Structure 1
Amino acid sequence: MYSVYILFSGELKRYYTGQAASVDRRLNQHQSGSGKYTSRAGDWQIVFTCDF
């Protein structure tokens, strides 16, 4: 099963949308700075998920 998710960074005051099989694992990757866009902040929080 895949999920679409929306993250929010209070530090950047920006949203990020993505899709993944494991949202929790993907959030950990975003928090650790492994993504180009999301590496600019470490405070990403899940604000929405939808499973498919």
Structure 2
Amino acid sequence: MMEEFELIGWPEIQFYMELEGFRENSTLVDPNTNIGIDSSTYLVSKSWLESLINK
């Protein structure tokens, strides 16, 4: 099963960066202005994000 991810950019990503599990559940995306991806944009696991809500 392929995991789903959410794109989160700057400055919103700052909220998640210090949380336990961020490094294991996210990856920095290379900027690509042709498709609207700015620098400091991350792919973040949706299941990890949902686990934060359920704590």
How high is the TM-score relative to the length of structure 2?
A: 0.31
How high is the TM-score relative to the length of structure 1?
A: 0.32
